Amino acid sequence: MAAHGDKARALCGGTDLIIQMRAGVRRPEYVVDLKNIAALRQISFSMQHGLRLGAAVPAIEIHENADMRRYYPGLTEAAHLIGSLQIQSRASVGGNLCNGSPAADTIPALIAVAAKARVIGPQGERLVPVEEFCTAPGRTVLQPDEILIEFQIPTPAPHSSDAYQRFIPRNEMDIAVVGVGAAITLDPADDRCVAARIALGAVGPTPIFAREAAAALVGKRLDEASIDNAARAATAASSPIDDMRGTAEFRRHVVGVLTRRVVKLAAERARVAQSR
Ligand SMILES: Cc1cc2nc3c(=O)[nH]c(=O)nc-3n(C[C@H](O)[C@H](O)[C@H](O)COP(=O)(O)OP(=O)(O)OC[C@H]3O[C@@H](n4cnc5c(N)ncnc54)[C@H](O)[C@@H]3O)c2cc1C
């Protein structure tokens, strides 16, 4: 990739790239298949070191992994929403991020769990918080000679969990009109929220880290009032457009609805999560 610069393009599952090449949207002269590099295919979790999720791990392997389902249920459900089972057998979370779509399902879920992307190239390697990775629709911080190796994700704190939901017009095989991911940590003594992260998809040119929405929850009990404040802040953080999938007004409404739902779901999961 260093030799060919922007004439080369990485491929993990190819479920975006091959379609874009067929449509003439991207015309790389060289396609570099990363799937056989072992570091890109591993899922490794320990309480001490957290999660290392290889960039090329197919979504289906994420769903089949017991640690993923237990410790990162929101990220796991986001990966399990991509396309169909056939698509999930190829599609990777790395490709989902590097494709740079504002509607990509796993990006809000990755931001919610504070994932960092480990990027490597001839100049060395760097760790990029996922919320800083996408710069415009279809564009990322990656240089042409850089590849994404893996995601590094912290061990969830005790009494915490995550959730992701999206709205699509049909049951499957569609692109998010709105997607919302949240991670919540509770104090088991009084059920107050001690930490939160909320992220939005498909309502701006890049996925949005809705810091103010999370701040509306921290220090509060998660009752209707605090959750409504978070939903209002998430709506205010969104900047959707009108398109064939929905109007901006409709999308803003759905941001509020989904924010309420994912915050409640993540909190329910956090309450039953074992003290880790
Ligand atoms: C029928 C269908 C349904 C779909 N449904 C959904 C859906 O519901 N939700 C959703 O979010 N997406 C959906 N997608 C889009 C796609 O499947 C996902 O974005 C998928 O996660 C892409 O992963 P991939 O491994 O196939 O990426 P690829 O196509 O291999 O790559 C995507 C882009 O990222 C770059 N890239 C990939 N890996 C790396 C790397 N490690 N380092 C540097 N650059 C890299 C490639 O050069 C390319 O530009 C769907 C696609 C299809 C065809």
pLDDT tens sequence for the chain (276 residues): 999 999 999 999 999 999 999 999 999 999 999 999 999 999 999 999 999 999 999 999 999 999 999 999 999 999 999 999 999 999 999 999 999 999 999 999 999 999 999 999 999 999 999 999 999 999 999 999 999 999 999 999 999 999 999 999 887 778 899 999 999 999 999 999 999 999 999 999 999 999 999 999 999 999 999 999 999 999 999 999 999 888 999 999 999 999 999 999 999 999 998 655
1 lines ligand 1 (CB under 6 A): no
Q: Whose CA is nearest to atom 19 of ligand 1?
A: 96
Tokens at 78, concatenated: 């986001």
- Nearest atom in ligand 1 to the alpha carbon of residue 59 is 21
How many angstroms separate the alpha carbon of residue 161 from the centre of ligand 1? 26
CATH number for 160-272 (one of 3.30.390.50, 3.40.50.740, 3.40.50.300, 2.60.120.200): it is 3.30.390.50
Tell the residue number behind the tokens 């003594």, with chain if given. 189
The C-alpha atoms of residue 55 and residue 40 are separated, in whole angstroms, by: 5
**pLDDT for the residue 275:** 57
Task: Output the 3-class SS for 162-219.
Answer: EEEEEECCCCCCCCCCEEEEEEEEEECCCCEEEEEEEEEECCCCCCEECHHHHHCCCC
**pLDDT for the residue 173:** 77
User: What is the amino acid identity at position 234?
Assistant: A
Query: β-pairing, 160-167 with 50-54?
Result: unpaired
58 lines ligand 1 (CB under 6 A): no
The C-alpha atoms of residue 84 and residue 32 are separated, in whole angstroms, by: 25
The CA-CA-CA angle for residues 123, 129, 132, to 5°, reads: 90
From 82, 90, 106, the mutation candidate for ligand 1 (largest count of ligand atoms within 8 A of CB) is: 82
147 lines ligand 1 (CB under 6 A): yes
pTM comes to: 0.98
**pLDDT for the residue 274:** 62
Helix (H) or strand (E) holding 151: strand 147-153
134 lines ligand 1 (CB under 6 A): no
The distance in angstroms from the start CA to the end CA of the chain is 42
Provide the CATH number for the domain formed by 5-153 in this structure.
3.30.465.10
Specify whether the CB–CB gap between 38 and 44 falls below 8 A.
Answer: no
Domain assignments of the chain as residue spans, ordered by start: 5-153, 160-272
**pLDDT for the residue 141:** 98
The C-alpha atoms of residue 222 and residue 226 are separated, in whole angstroms, by: 6
The C-alpha atoms of residue 265 and residue 78 are separated, in whole angstroms, by: 14
Specify whether the CB–CB gap between 242 and 250 falls below 8 A.
Answer: no
Neighbours of 58 (CB within 10 A): 24
The CA-CA-CA angle for residues 236, 114, 166, to 5°, reads: 50
**Secondary structure of residue 238 in the 3-state scheme:** coil
Dihedral sign of CA atoms 132, 137, 143, 149 in order: positive
